[in-house]
């Protein structure tokens, strides 16, 4: 009959209205500043720079290769290379950024900088409460605002961080083993050169000498 559907709909909304006062479960609202939903692991917002160890100046992974700067679609990254070099996680000397700025009012959170970085130095942060009164000062993040320890990265994106840590540790182990082997062969050559008649010490196989995979700091 005409009007039947309207009455049914009215009954439904009345049930919702009364029900929302009776059972709290019906209310889907999360009252944000007081209540928060747990962060999703895949969440991302703006990029940050990862560093290993305690001192960010020493442990910064960025080598100022400027790939991210070139790839950034909205051009929000600005890098100036430093002339001084510093050793990276395997002890190789690398460049470092003198200036590394990201304008997060321009950044569109596309994650392309993360995808292109060969050094796993730039990653996406999950911080979202970034509102500020100072539009120009506070939204242009400098190097010291951007750095975060690797522990923080492990905390916000555990799966990715574990994978990267494993890879870096393996690389470091390989580099260490290679260095050790090189050193041994060198020493051996030296020894044979210096004391030819003496019996050569039994050379240990390099696999045994490799240190246990250290977690990159």
Note the residues at the interface with another protein (CB under 8 A).
1-3, 6, 9-10, 12-14, 16-17, 19-21, 26-29, 31
Nearer to another protein among residue 28 and residue 207 (C-beta): 28
Q: For 142-198, what is the HEC assignment?
A: CHHHHEEEHHHHHHHCHHHHHHHHHHHHHHHHHHHHHHHHHHHHHHHHHHHHHCCCC
Q: Least distance in Å: CB of 131 to another protein?
A: 17
Nearer to another protein among residue 22 and residue 84 (C-beta): 22
Q: Least distance in Å: CB of 8 to another protein?
A: 10
Nearer to another protein among residue 8 and residue 196 (C-beta): 8
Say which residues have a Cβ less than 8 Å from residue 184's Cβ, sequence separation at least 6. 203, 206
Nearer to another protein among residue 16 and residue 209 (C-beta): 16
Q: Least distance in Å: CB of 2 to another protein?
A: 3
Nearer to another protein among residue 30 and residue 198 (C-beta): 30
Q: Least distance in Å: CB of 113 to another protein?
A: 38
Nearer to another protein among residue 19 and residue 211 (C-beta): 19
């Amino acid at each position: 009959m005409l009007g039947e559907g309207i009455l049914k709909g009215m009954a439904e909304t009345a049930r919702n209205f009364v029900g929302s006062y009776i059972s709290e479960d019906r209310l889907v609202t999360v009252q944000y500043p007081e209540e928060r939903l747990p962060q999703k692991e895949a969440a991302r917002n703006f990029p940050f720079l990862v560093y290993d160890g305690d001192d960010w100046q020493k442990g910064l992974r960025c080598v100022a290769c400027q790939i991210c700067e070139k790839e950034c679609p909205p051009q929000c990254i600005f890098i100036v290379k430093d002339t001084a070099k510093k050793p990276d996680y395997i002890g190789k000397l690398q460049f470092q950024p003198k200036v590394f700025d990201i304008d997060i009012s321009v950044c569109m959170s596309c994650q392309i900088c993360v995808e292109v970085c060969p050094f796993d130095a730039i990653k996406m942060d999950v911080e979202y409460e970034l509102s500020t009164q100072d539009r120009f000062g506070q939204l242009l993040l400098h190097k010291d605002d951007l750095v975060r320890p690797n522990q923080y990265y492990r905390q916000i994106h555990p799966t990715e961080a574990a994978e990267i840590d494993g890879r870096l540790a393996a690389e470091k182990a390989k580099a260490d083993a290679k260095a050790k082997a090189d050193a041994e062969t060198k020493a051996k050559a030296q020894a044979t050169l210096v004391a030819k008649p003496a019996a050569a010490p039994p050379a240990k196989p390099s696999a045994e000498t490799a240190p246990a995979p250290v977690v990159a700091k």
